[in-house]
Structure 1
């Protein structure tokens, strides 16, 4: 189990110059963006869970889930809201959402081992009415729609690291998100590779910025910054 603080797992933004930070290719591609990497990772976590019941790492730590849940409480997201967990991984966030009272939950991931692990984790928590599907979000248009809330903790980061067709993948992600969300539906994204300004630009068309969620800050060289960015958007036309 990951520590409760922020995890940097999957964060590979290494650009330094202002020009790099404003470009579409802000960091080197990585194996962290490949399907093979995640299938191997979740197969190991599945084996570990089967052996000792450890669900594995929670992307960005437990605080990242609590942060989104606090926003959902303040935004008065109803317990009946249709919620999509994009790149559900081990399903840990689905468990937290269910324990928080949300009843209409769906998690997707393109890794078969991830989905198998998530199902076992949910079953162990006696949460048999949560839907999990093996699905590539980038090719999901027409298959996912009508969601009130879509949540992403690191999936857009991983897509941005894919060595193949990175630029196209980011465009497909935005298209799939537009198709999945209802009008005025909310999108919560947590990223360690993209700044607030970059995410505002990426999701500038078809989305309205709602708010930035507070994340831990650090000081270095007299400057204050954040290693993780968490934003809320609303789907608009």
Structure 2
């Protein structure tokens, strides 16, 4: 069954019903694209977790994680598959992947507070075999290689809002993704800022579109649309 609601926490700019989101430059830079914003945000969530055990908000809501897990099950992704969670945040997706039986997991984030929070959350769940590292994906310099699956829930949205060299940042992301994924490896992206058409264009070089995952839809003024886009790509050389 398709979800009817979804938490789009953190989205920098969601176009309204019927608006054209086909331009790659239709919203400007934001503090959501800065490292300091996320370090401050995750520092607060870390302190809250240590105080009361609350992991904080789940990016796009629990439905977004369930959608990815359902795709992985349908695609028969082996449990020992090397999986990279790009921009792991509080590590909630890593927890769900581990509980679903996936054993070769790594989460990365450029925020030290995020990394500490994710490690604390995993430890609280007694999931000690999951790797979490402080890594800037855009400047990983070959550190990230050999992954069968890369997952992004909102990280590309955030880096796209970087106030400095926005176009260069987006291209750096694509190149880093190419380096991280094995040939024929899969990339699952969930976005609230980019349409299917925009993502197809952005990841046209080195990737093959596989499928679109169903996301909640809305209807306004006789027009139907989606506030979230979820796509699967395959790495091709």
TM-score normalised according to structure 2 size: 0.95
Q: Which residue of 1 aligns with 2:170?
A: 170
Decide whether aligned partners of structure 1 residues 208 and 127 sit closer, same or farther in structure 2, where only a CA change above 3 A counts.
same
- Deviation of 1:5 after TM superposition, in Å, equals 4.5
Decide whether aligned partners of structure 1 residues 45 and 14 sit closer, same or farther in structure 2, where only a CA change above 3 A counts.
closer
- Deviation of 1:20 after TM superposition, in Å, equals 7.0
**Any idea what SS the aligned residue of 2:184 has?**
strand
- Deviation of 1:14 after TM superposition, in Å, equals 5.7
- Deviation of 1:194 after TM superposition, in Å, equals 0.1
Deviations 1:110-143 (A, max 9, x none): 0000000000000000111100000100001310
Inter-partner Cα distance in structure 2 for 1:14 and 1:135: 28
My pick for the range that moved more, 19-28 or 154-163, is 19-28
Of structures 1 and 2, the one scoring higher in RCO (CA 8 A, sep 6+) is 2
- Which stretches in structure 1 are left out of the alignment for 5+ residues? none
Question: How does 1:121-136 map onto structure 2 within 5 Å?
Answer: 121-136=121-136
Alignment RMSD, CA only? 1.6
- Which stretches in structure 2 are left out of the alignment for 5+ residues? none
**Any idea what SS the aligned residue of 2:40 has?**
helix
Decide whether aligned partners of structure 1 residues 226 and 22 sit closer, same or farther in structure 2, where only a CA change above 3 A counts.
closer
* Kept after mapping to 2: 8 A contact 1:5/1:62: no
Inter-partner Cα distance in structure 2 for 1:218 and 1:14: 13
The question of 1:69 aligning with 2:69 is answered yes
Question: How does 1:106-117 map onto structure 2 within 5 Å?
Answer: 106-117=106-117
Inter-partner Cα distance in structure 2 for 1:22 and 1:105: 34
**Any idea what SS the aligned residue of 1:21 has?**
coil
Inter-partner Cα distance in structure 2 for 1:111 and 1:159: 13
- Deviation of 1:28 after TM superposition, in Å, equals 1.7
Inter-partner Cα distance in structure 1 for 2:31 and 2:138: 18
Q: Which residue of 1 aligns with 2:27?
A: 27
Inter-partner Cα distance in structure 1 for 2:185 and 2:65: 19
Q: Which residue of 2 aligns with 1:58?
A: 58
**Any idea what SS the aligned residue of 1:157 has?**
helix
Question: How does 1:190-209 map onto structure 2 within 5 Å?
Answer: 190-209=190-209
Q: Which residue of 2 aligns with 1:95?
A: 95
Q: How many residues align?
A: 233
- Deviation of 1:8 after TM superposition, in Å, equals 2.0
Inter-partner Cα distance in structure 1 for 2:231 and 2:216: 14
Q: Which residue of 2 aligns with 1:43?
A: 43
Decide whether aligned partners of structure 1 residues 123 and 5 sit closer, same or farther in structure 2, where only a CA change above 3 A counts.
farther
TM-score normalised according to structure 1 size: 0.95
